[in-house]
Structure formats: structure tokens, C-alpha cells
Amino acid sequence: MPPETILPARRHALPPGLIVLALAAVVLAASIAFMTVGVKGNWAYVLELRGRKLAAIVLVATATAVSTILFQTITGNRILTPSIIGFDALYALLQTVLVFFLGAGRVAAFDPRLLFLLEAASMLALALLLYRWLFLGERRSLHLLLLVGVVFGLIFRSITQLLQRIMDPNEFVVLQDRLFASFNGVNPVLIGMSATAIGLVGLAIWKRRFVMDVLLLGREPAIGLGVDYRRLVTLILVLVSVLVASSTALVGPINGFEPISFYGVLVANLTYLLLPTFSHRFLLPAAAMIGILLIAGGQLVLETLLGFDSAVGIVIEFAGGLVFVFLLLKGLAR
């Protein structure tokens, strides 16, 4: 039998389980540093304040990282994030409408729990409405869904901008503050509500960690292997929506309502780079931890040590943007 050319196998990467453990250790160390570095004065007060901030970071990072990886798995695309469906745009529209019609003062006086539920519920409603477009029976419907999402996002953004143009400038300043993710002074009750939602979704996802790998093969092979494709993809989209909705309602849109969250792209692709595996049981926890490290570590270095104020978001989006451009060019070069 004539031998075929065989290149030597290149597989000297660390086992993914070990990388996840190492990441966990780094996250733990970073969290301790985050809580304790540079504490002056009243320890109890500072720990409580920083604890809340860390909890919010952990929730938002986990929700964003996990939802991005899952979204990329079902779309088979490594530069998409759930925000393409227009979640963040809807959040911005909602805030703008509230401030525009009720006034900044009255919105600030709202019960934050009620506002949280309202925001989360309307984002979920949008997602479910969109998924009615999802006839996954035959092909291309996922792309149709994405396109419809992009159009929705455009409409939301246009209305938002119109309202902001004709708004009282003083109110606009208050509104702008609400439209950027902030981990400071997050209400502990909301942290509890969002943690419950994200935890339950996490359990539902963990239960399906193996079947999610099969989705990487695409629709037809997955069905051939016995996956109820339409049901699973719809379920994942709903879970992704709950994740995005509860994290956005907690701190605001992490990407400052641009159509693409570079933070999500950055976290997901760092994860793929670090873990040479397709297994969601490694990818998902690793992505969550990388997400936490980026925000918490970034805050620690930039704000606590170097003294820049709230520059992390900008730095992360910048780095994410570079990764995005790199991925695009790599895709073009192929």
C-alpha cells in the first residue's frame, strides 16, 4: 500500500483541565488582591464596598463570556456576540424613553428592583419575539434572525438618538451616566436577583455541556447524531437572552451600546487561544474566569495601582477592537 504523506502530529498543549484549574487559582489570587490591595481606614466598609463590586464583576463577566461562547457555537461564527440582536440598543432605548418622558428625577426615585425586572423582562420579550422568526426547520433561518436583530437594533438606536437630541441637556447628562456599565454602588438586592437568574441558567447549560459540542458540527450532522436541533438551539437562545438581560439590567450595557461587544469577542477568542479544545465543559468555565480576570484585574491594575479612573472599559474595548480587526484580516487571508 503506498504510504500517504503524514506530517508529524503537533499536540504538546497542556491538558485543558489543568489550564482551567490554573485559571481558577489565578482568579482566586486576583480576587484576594482586588479585595485587599490599598485598603486604608475602615476595613469593614471597604470590604463590603469592594465585595459588592467584585460580585457584580463576576456576574457580568460570567454572563457575557458564557453567552458569547454559546452564541458563537450556535452561529458557527467567532466574531459575533449576542449584542448583535440589539439587546444593548433596547436597553439604551428603554433608559432614554424613561428619562425623556418621566424625567431623570423620577426615574432615579424608582424602586431599583422594579426597574431591574422591567429592563430584564423587556429584553427577554424582545428576544422571544425575535425567536418567533426562527424557523430552524430548513436552512438560513438563523441568518434571517440575525439580520432582523440588526435591523431592530438600528431602529432602537435611531429612536434613542432622536430622543436624546431633543432632550433637556441636564437630563441628557444624567442619562449618559446610566448608559455606561458601572460596577460601583450596585444594589445588593439586585446582585442577589441577577445571581439567582445567572446561576439557574448556568445549571441548565452545564446539564447540556456535552450535546453543545455536537452543535459545532452544524445542523445536519447534529440531527444525524440524534440532537433535537431546533429545540436545543431555541433553548440556548433563550438562556443566552436571560444571561444578557440579567447582566445588562444589573450594571448597564458593557459595550456602551455599540452593535458589537468587543469585550465578548476578546474573552471568547482568548479562551479559544488558551484552550485548544472544543469541549464546552472546559471552554465555558475558562471563558467566565478569563472574563473576570480582564475586568477585575484591569480595574486592579489601572484604577487601584495606577490611579486612572474608570479607564478599564475603554482599554478592554480597545484591545477587543484590535482582536476583532485581527480576526477579520485572518478570515480574509484564508
Partner 1 sequence: MIEVEGLTKRYGATAVVDDVSLRLPEGRLTAVIGPNGAGKSTLLSMIARLMKPDTGRIRVAGLDVASTAGEVLARRLSILRQENHITARLTVGDLVAFGRFPHSGGRPGPEDARHVAEALAALDLAPFRDRFLDELSGGQRQRAFVAMTLAQDADCMLFDEPLASLDIRHAISMMELLRDLCRNKGKTVVLVLHDINIAANFADGVVAMKDGRIEAVGDTGEVMTGERLSRLYGLPISVERNGGSCIVNYFRSRD
Binding residues vs partner 1 (CB under 8 A): 1, 4, 6-7, 9, 11, 76-78, 137-138, 209-211, 213-214, 216-221, 223-228, 276, 278
Nearer to partner 1, 3 or 307 (CB): 3
The cell numbers describing 214, all together, are: 455536537
Report, in angstroms and rounded to the nearest whole number, the Rg of the chain calculated over CA atoms: 21
> What number of CA atoms fall less than 13 Å from residue 143's CA on the CB side?
5
Q: Which long-range contacts (CB under 8 A, 24 or more apart) does 126-134 make?
A: 126/85, 126/86, 126/87, 126/90, 126/152, 127/85, 127/87, 127/237, 127/238, 127/240, 127/241, 127/245, 128/238, 128/241, 130/85, 131/234, 131/237, 131/238, 134/233, 134/234, 134/237
Q: Residues 141, 155: contact at Cβ < 8 Å?
A: no
In whole angstroms, the minimum distance from the beta carbon of 262 to partner 1 comes to: 20
Based on CB atoms, which residue is closest to partner 1, 157 or 219? 219
- What's the min distance (Å) between Cβ of 217 and partner 1? 6
Instruction: Say which DSSP state 82 is in.
Output: G
* Least distance to partner 1, CB of residue 318, Å: 27
Nearest to 56 by CA among 291, 322, 236, 235: 291
Residue 223 · residue 216 · CB < 8 Å: no
39 vs 273, beta carbon nearer partner 1: 273
CB of 163 to partner 1, least distance (A): 39
Q: Grid coordinates representing 316? A: 478592554
Beta strands (DSSP E) in 251-316 are none
In the complex with partner 1, which residue's Cβ is closer, 121 or 225?
225
Q: How far is the CB of 24 from partner 1 (least distance, A)?
A: 23
Q: Give which of 119, 148, 154 is closest to 131, Cα–Cα.
A: 148
Rounded CA gap, 103 and 80, in Å?
35
Closer residue to partner 1 (CB): 75 or 95: 75
- What does the alpha-carbon distance between residue 258 and residue 272 come to, in Å, rounded to a whole number? 24
**Residue 74: CB minimum distance to partner 1, A:** 11
Taking the C-alpha atoms of residue 265 and residue 173, their distance in angstroms, rounded to an integer, is: 29
Give the C-alpha separation, 147 to 160, whole Å. Answer: 20
By beta-carbon proximity to partner 1, the closer residue of 151 and 225 is 225
CB of 227 to partner 1, least distance (A): 6
Q: Nearer to partner 1 by C-beta: 227 or 239?
A: 227
Name the minimum Å distance from CB 130 to partner 1: 23
Residue 43 or 326 with smaller CB distance to partner 1: 326
Cβ proximity to partner 1: between 9 and 166 the closer is 9
How far does the chain reach from its first CA to its final CA, in angstroms?
34
Q: Rounded to the nearest whole angstrom, what is the least distance from the CB of residue 212 to partner 1 in the complex?
A: 9
